Structure 1
Amino acid sequence: MRKILLLCGLTVLATTAVQAGEVKVTWQEPEKFTDIRPANDNRKAYRARVIKKFEGFFTDMASDLPQGYQWDITVTDIDLAGDVDYFAGGAGNALRIVKDIYSPAIKFNYVLRDKHGEEVANGEEKLRDMSFMQQLRSSNSNEEFRYEKQMLQDWFKKELQPKVEQYAQSLPKVSGPTP
């Protein structure tokens, strides 16, 4: 029984390893971004936390790319959902107020290459989700930067994944020797 469970576990690992692109994220002057201001945190520490979270978002998306793909991203601006109000918290405590008028946005350039280094897709993206407050909330509705994450995942599914699939279909079919 143990051998069967171990074999099943290895099969699952082998299947997930097939889908495993890599990502390299570069941050172009994040100190000048439109809005990655903290409410009640050190500015530098908050910026580092934002960068780490967004790198995690891109890494998660890259895991859905074919094995050997390299996705290079240069983030040029972020405008987090909401706006920091330094008077709303009272007694010197600021709050990030999230309303429809403070929609999340991100700007980035990217190049996606296949395992042979051939360019699959590239572009300059300027994403803004004006309807971020109208979406259904899931169990992770308290997750930090959830609106930005959803916006990036939506773009990835609608824009980048179809380009990867189209590229894969355009490759010549390699046939092996016939028996």
Structure 2
Amino acid sequence: MRTTILLCGLAIVLGTGAVQAGEVQIKWQDPEKFTDIRPANDSRKAFRERVIKKFDGFFNDMATQLPEGYKWEVTVTDVDLAGDVDYFISRSGSALRVVKDIYSPAIRFTHVLRDKHGEEVVSGEERLRDMGFMQSLRSANDNEEFRYEKQMLNNWFTKELQPKVEQYALALPKVSTN
């Protein structure tokens, strides 16, 4: 199992002056067995390393939005990239990743988020799949690699994890400063 630890720097939220920063630790459980991390024109190992590096960055970016001192432990158990590698479409003998709406991105991971005191805020197993990934609006210049997977993760983070973190913060007992 491959483990990556990313410490997120401080991020100042514009307009509020509030400082937020979280720490994320990512484990990759048997990535060579994932559903689809197949390269089109790259070695399997090099492509897998590139995917892991990009996804580490996605989780790191999300962790910067967590409150200061929070620790997020993530174990990625499967990835199915958007599209499918087609070895027969190209006349040059090289393969292409063909992205169609029937080849939707998916990711499975378990996670535990702890507050600055080590108390569990939220945990679970997530099985994300974005069946409507081709319907989202995007810029004509948007050629970022793994953009569909990034959007899927960001949507989940915004709709699922952040509200739970906010609810947890509201439920904490208020400490008097007097």
Give CA deviations for 1:12-58 in whole Å, capped at 9, x if unaligned.
Answer: 7xx46x21001000000000000000000011000000000000000
Letter in 2 for 1:122: S
Give CA deviations for 1:107-150 in whole Å, capped at 9, x if unaligned.
Answer: 00000000000000001000000000001013652000000000
Letter in 1 for 2:156: W
Structure 2 partner of 1:64: 65
Letter in 2 for 1:27: W
Task: Normalising by structure 1, report the TM-score.
Answer: 0.89
Total equivalences in the alignment: 166
Looking at secondary structure, tell me which structure has more strand per residue. Answer: 2
Structure 2, unpaired ranges of 5+: 1-11
Q: In 2, Cα distance between the equivalents of 1:133 and 1:85?
A: 19
Where 2:85 maps in the other structure, the secondary structure is strand
Q: In 1, Cα distance between the equivalents of 2:27 and 2:147?
A: 21
Structure 2 partner of 1:37: 38
Structure 1 partner of 2:131: 130
Closer, same or farther: CA 45–72 of 1 in aligned 2, 3 Å: same
Structure 1 partner of 2:165: 164
Looking at secondary structure, tell me which structure has more helix per residue. Answer: 1
Where 1:74 maps in the other structure, the secondary structure is strand
Structure 1 partner of 2:152: 151
Q: Please state how far the C-alpha of 1:89 moved relative to its aligned partner.
A: 1.7
Q: In 2, Cα distance between the equivalents of 1:139 and 1:119?
A: 41
Q: Please state how far the C-alpha of 1:91 moved relative to its aligned partner.
A: 2.4
2:62 matches 1:87: no
Q: In 2, Cα distance between the equivalents of 1:55 and 1:44?
A: 16
Give CA deviations for 1:82-119 in whole Å, capped at 9, x if unaligned.
Answer: 00001112221100000010000000000000000000
Structure index of larger Rg: 1
Structure 1 partner of 2:119: 118
Q: In 1, Cα distance between the equivalents of 2:171 and 2:144?
A: 39
Letter in 1 for 2:121: V
Q: In 2, Cα distance between the equivalents of 1:83 and 1:32?
A: 16
Closer, same or farther: CA 116–39 of 1 in aligned 2, 3 Å: same
Where 1:48 maps in the other structure, the secondary structure is helix
Closer, same or farther: CA 72–81 of 1 in aligned 2, 3 Å: same
**1:103-114 mapped onto 2 (5 Å cutoff):** 103-114=104-115
Task: Normalising by structure 2, report the TM-score.
Answer: 0.89
